[in-house]
Amino acid sequence: MGEACAGRVALVTGASRGIGKAIALRLAAEGAAVAICSRPSPGMAQLGTLQGARDELAALGGKVLAIPFDMGDPSLDRATLVDQVEAELGPVDILVNNAAAGGFRPFMEWTDEQMARVLELNFWSCWHLIRRTLPGMRERGRGWILNVSSQTAVGPQGPPFPPTQPARFGTIYGGSKAFLDRWTTSLGVETFGEGIAVNTIAPEAAAATEVLVEFSDLPDYLYEPLETMAEGALALCTADPATLTGQITTSLQLLVDLQRPVYDLAGRELVAGWQPADIPARIEKMAQHSRGELRSGPTGVERVTNR
């Protein structure tokens, strides 16, 4: 195990699988005591469960706490989640807001209830958890807040506009993430000088989560491995708050900018083909797709909504 997070407590939401679990594993591999949560019954147990994620984290040798908690349920007091973490592991030093919902469909096909669900997960859960953890971070003079965002927050350029699903149908998901990005930047400015880093990270295009790989038909060149997301997250969760805060980042570009080696989730081996020298060419191909210069046909992304 590394020691970049030794003595720190991390809380990662939406961590039964995918990006959340990957980040939790990378933090644990660097010595953090890690609390994870997810919906009590998220479905598709074959692709990952909260208990399975807990077992993987425990195998790294650190302290682990797994809490069933539906971040999308507005009737639940999210402060009680932090209360439980701090009672068992100690004050939260690192907060990773990863739980999210979304999907791509025409604006008129969204119901108010569906929109409310997206906002609960993509905005209000982050808002409430930060309101609960920020005072303690300020009192201790240190803390790292990372909100997981999306490139759909960036508006498409045109006309003419790219024919991609995020460009055409990103109204609600992209809009909620744009709100998250803008709020994160201001919070980073507000807390500057207090020893607290506040940033967002998004996949450059698509992270190879279990659900996305299983149910979508995205071309391979749009995927990045979960290791790059986790390495970028680790960089932001250990960064000097005096020099890296209030930033809206994408995983691959961040790794290039920092010239940061990419390790596996256990922090032991370098990931072949995804080191800083390898990444710029991959970024450019993803950018060509987002501009509509590369056509991939139907992607099936709509099939993974809220899974």
- Which pLDDT tens digit goes with each residue over 135-161? 999 999 999 999 999 999 998 889 999
The answer to whether position 293 is within a domain reads: yes
Give the 3-state DSSP-derived string for the chain, with helices as H, strands as E and coil as C.
CCCCCCCCEEEECCCCCHHHHHHHHHHHHCCCEEEEEECCCCCCHHHCCHHHHHHHHHCCCCCEEEEECCCCCCCCCHHHHHHHHHHHCCCCCEEEECCCCCCCCCHHHCCHHHHHHHHHHHHHHHHHHHHHHHHHHHHHCCEEEEEECCHHHCCCCCCCCCCCHHHHHCHHHHHHHHHHHHHHHHHHHHCCCCCEEEEEEECCCEECCHHHHHHCCCCHHHEECHHHHHHHHHHHHCCCCCCCCCCEEEHHHHHHHHCCCCECCCCCCECCCCCCCCHHHHHHHHHHHHCCCCCCCCCCHHHHCCC
152 lies in some domain: yes
**Structural domain containing residue 14:** 9-304
pLDDT digits (tens, 9 = 90+) for 179-216: 999 999 999 999 999 999 999 999 999 999 999 999 88
Active-site position among 16, 125, 149, 290: 149
Q: How many domains does the chain have?
A: 1
Residue 233 domain-assigned (yes or no): yes
149 counts as catalytic: yes
Whether 173 sits among the annotated catalytic residues: the reply is yes
124, part of any domain: yes
| pLDDT tens track for 44-77 | 878 889 999 999 999 999 999 999 999 999 999 9
> What pTM, to 2 d.p., does this model score?
0.95
**Is residue 3 assigned to a domain?**
no
CATH number, residue 131? 3.40.50.720
Residue 4 in any domain: the answer is: no
In a domain, 2, yes or no: no
| Residue, of 295 and 27, whose pLDDT is higher | 27
pLDDT, one tens digit per residue, over 237-277 is: 999 999 999 999 999 999 999 999 999 999 999 999 999 99
pLDDT bin (cut points 50, 70, 90) of residue 43 is confident
Catalytic residue among 16, 21, 150, 173: 173
User: pLDDT at residue 87 above 70?
Assistant: yes
Q: What percent of the chain has pLDDT over 90?
A: 84
Catalytic residue among 176, 177, 216, 223: 177
Catalytic residue check, 21: no
Q: What is the pLDDT of residue 48?
A: 85
